[in-house]
Structure 1
Amino acid sequence: MMGRDDCSWGPGMMGGHYWQRGDGTPVTTLDQARQRADAFADRLDLRVGEVMQFSKNFYAELETPGGELATEILVDPTDGDTGIEYGPAMMWNTGYGMHVGGQTRTRVSPDQARDRALKWLRDRGSDLVAGEAEAFPGYYTLHTLRNGKIDGMLSVNASTGAVWDHTWHGTYVATSEH
């Protein structure tokens, strides 16, 4: 998923640990994905919140012990490899990404992030709607909705307002809250 070294690929975030190798066993259910996410979260003293299944991967939100959103991770369904989600979680996350302590000034509110997401979708001729903006360190992630149901997600940088579509997930399948 994110490399093939045993457990890290470079300096930076949390001692350089961006991903964790799976055991090669396919991950086919939300419960199995949550178990992989739990093992990864434990290394960071975080806990797993929402877990989502898409056609290409499993996605999970990690939270601090106090319940604040910390970062987003992916679980590879083919082998269980688990790691920080590429895109915004890796590049924009000022607490757990590659640029810890980077641009931390929040200039975009959650409502402005949703407005930017809606404009971004409209500018591309999409009929999707942006859901609630969930705040991660340095950015927001929003579900994209079609007829009130999750279709995908995108993120908005809290400092610049840039939008990043999560094109790597594939088709939405299901969600598990915990």
Structure 2
Amino acid sequence: MLLSVTAWAQMGQMGSAQGGPGDMMGCRALWSLGFPQAPTPLTIDQAVTATQQYLILLGNPDLVAAKVIDFTNHFEVIVNEKSSGAGAFSLLIDRFSTGAVCFEPGPNMMWNTKYRMGWGHMQGPPWSWWPGVPTTQMPVTPEQAKQLAQSFLNAYLPGTTVGTDIDTFYGFYDLYVLKDGQIVGMMSVNGYTSTIWYYTWHGPFVEMKKL
């Protein structure tokens, strides 16, 4: 039986890097990672470099950049655990060197049961739906998450489909929305409550680089 769908469509923006190289929401100014303070556009490879520098400062050698997605509004980076291969968290990187690297808002901060918050605060508090131990083995399976996501798309974005790739994090899944075989969006499914989050802040898809 298909789990019930609760859908959220949210908008947000990256935290500001003003006032210092880092902040409580996990942002780190690109200039503090060695990038010029002049407004220079970043390439996808430079986004990888920015992520690597950011992860060094976090001080956790088990974290590695796994995938960079180039959207018109910013780069999104999926960070995995080396030891487990599971998704740890996602980052957003401004397209210009005067911007910042930040923890992505939304499910990445709200539903992530292991790496919930940003700079220096990477352990999430309990929720009523969370049993208390971070795990990627959740009541909602990857296949059920795809079914839930497709039900949402059928109702609200007919003509789109869920892609075959799925990124599993502690507490939720990330999925890709396709139209005519091309990525046109992203969404998340909570692995405990089946709640759906559709992302509205990325802008059109440009390219993806798996690392």
Q: Shorter-normalised TM-score: what interval? A: 0.7 to 0.9
Which amino acid counterpart does residue 184 of structure 2 have in structure 1?
Answer: D
- In structure 2, C-alpha distance between the alignment counterparts of 1:109 and 1:101, rounded to whole Å: 23
Q: State yes or no: 1:127 paired with 2:145.
A: no
Contact 1:113 1:133 in 2 (8 A): no
1:57 paired residue among 57, 74, 78? 74
Give the match's secondary structure for 2:82. coil
Q: Which has the higher contact order (CA 8 A, sep 6+)?
A: 2
Q: Which of residues 37, 62, 69 is equivalent to 2:87?
A: 69
Residue of structure 2 equivalent to 1:2 = 15
Paired residues, number: 171
Which residue is 1:31 aligned to? 45
Residue 102 of structure 2: SS of its match in structure 1? Answer: strand
Q: Is the Cα–Cα contact under 8 Å of residues 27 and 76 in structure 1 kept in the other structure?
A: no
The separation in 2 between residues aligned to 1:5 and 1:135, in whole angstroms, is: 34
- 1:5 offset after TM fit, Å? 4.3
Aligned equivalents of 1:26, 1:108: Cα separation in 2: 43
TM-score with structure 1 length normalisation?
Answer: 0.88
Structure of higher CA gyration radius: 2
Residue 58 to residue 8, structure 1, CA distance change in 2 (3 Å): same
**2:26 is the alignment partner of 1:18:** yes
Provide Cα deviations, 1:143-170, integer angstroms capped at 9, x if missing partner: 1111222222110011111111111100
Aligned-residue sequence identity (percent) comes to 30
Using the size of structure 2 for normalisation, the TM-score is: 0.75
The gaps in structure 2 that reach 5 residues or longer are 1-13, 32-36, 118-122, 132-137
C-alpha contact 1:72 1:85 (8 A) present in aligned 2: yes
Q: Distance in 1 between matches of 2:106 and 2:41?
A: 22
Unaligned runs of 5+ in 1: 10-16
The 3-state SS of whatever aligns with 1:42 is helix
